[in-house]
Amino acid sequence: MSDDLRNVIIIGSGPAGYTAGLYSARAMLDPLMFAGYMSGGQLMLTSDVENFPGYPQGIGGPEMMMQLREQAERFGLEVEDKNVERVDLKERPFKVWVEGQEFRAETLIICTGAEAIWLGAEGEEEQKGRGISTCATCDGAFFRDEEIIVIGGGDSAMEEATFLTRFASKVTIIHRRDVFKASKVMYDRAASHPKIEIKTFRSVKKWLSDEKGLTGALLEDPRDGSIEQIECSGAFIAIGHKPITSFLEDQIETDESGYIIHKHNTMTSVEGVFAAGDVVDTRYRQAITAAGMGCQASIDAERWLEDQE
């Protein structure tokens, strides 16, 4: 067991975690962060971030995350590039286990984010970020006057497809069935859009590319295995996200998909445990909203600690 009892342990090092770290450090809470298996979070996977305020020319995702870390460390955030294996939230101080060692804290701020669910089709790994994306708000503007496909049949797929018509010359929605999970209003909006075509009974079998990036996909009809080729320079996979909460082992209330539920401001169902960013956010999923929530969680934790005294 580590001897010191921390005011705050922050779990996760995306924009939410580093912002919580910055605020907690500046509030003299002596915070400790476990950065996790992907130090820097999801933005480490992207080359250009053009919608985070303060960067008029845009900035590379990894570079931005390094700057956030540097800023928080300057005020005293202590960062360990390690994964939290499990936690015990039954009593305070809370316990956190990392590589078998036990750490204790009065409050926890959970910022473990979410992962987009990918299709896993042939050629996908190589084209991630080179034409295949899971975020239209983030990457749509890179496909002006180009043909794009969107994979999925739920509200997110309809919303992404409709949004992408602002940039693309044509958007084709690919869905493996002819029944849609999307609400009628979202489906109708997409289906009636002049730039959108919907292809049902198709799933992506293989991504096609050349040296410049994505060029298309081979689509398979699951009913008879027949193959069709579609051309596109951009593809957006919109089949859902998975929040990273399994290490909490059901000690905090989540929704049916595993997203942490806020009970009071950023506080969770466990008093003294706060959560911020994509791990609670089913709607916005942006760096700036995650950072904003990280700030809120830190201020909530600080005020809660004050109230305990």
Which positions lie near ligand FAD, rule CB under 6 A?
11-17, 34-43, 45-46, 49, 51-52, 83-84, 111-113, 116, 129, 134-135, 138, 244, 247, 277-279, 285-288, 290
Residues contacting 119, CB < 8 A, separation 6+: 151, 203, 204, 237, 239
Decide whether 9 or 149 has the Cβ nearer to ligand FAD. 9
- The residue among 39 and 127 lying less far from ligand FAD, judged by its C-beta, is 39
CA separation for the pair 32, 135 (Å, rounded): 31
Does residue 139 carry a catalytic annotation? yes
Q: Return the number of the residue (177 or 284) whose C-beta is nearest ligand FAD.
A: 284
Minimum separation from the CB atom of position 133 to ligand FAD (A): 6
**Cβ neighbours of 268 (radius 10 Å):** 24
Buried b (16+ CB within 10 A) or exposed e, 218-246: bbbbeeeeeeeebebbbbbbbbbbebbbe
3-class SS shares of the chain: helix, strand, coil, % to 5? 30, 30, 40
Whole-number Cα distances in Å, 185 to 44, 154, 198: 35, 12, 15
Q: Which of 111, 139, 232, 300 is catalytic?
A: 139
- Clarify whether 255 is annotated catalytic: no
Closest approach, Cβ 77 to ligand FAD, in A, equals 14
Which one, 217 or 237, has the nearer CB to ligand FAD? 237
Q: What is the largest CA-CA distance in the chain?
A: 68
Q: Which of 30, 48, 135, 221 is catalytic?
A: 135
Q: How far is the CB of 213 from ligand FAD (least distance, A)?
A: 14
Distance, in Å, from the CA atom of 240 to the CA atom of 193, rounded to the nearest integer, reads 23
232 is catalytic: no
* Nearest distance in Å: CB 238, ligand FAD: 13
CA angle 142, 159, 267 (to 5 degrees): 100
d(CA 7, CA 33): 12
Catalytic residue among 111, 138, 278, 300, which? 138
The neighbour count for residue 4, using CB atoms within 10 Å, is 10
- Which CB atom, from 129 or from 258, has the smaller least distance to ligand FAD? 129
CB of 236 to ligand FAD, least distance (A): 11
**Catalytically active residues, by annotation:** 135, 138-139
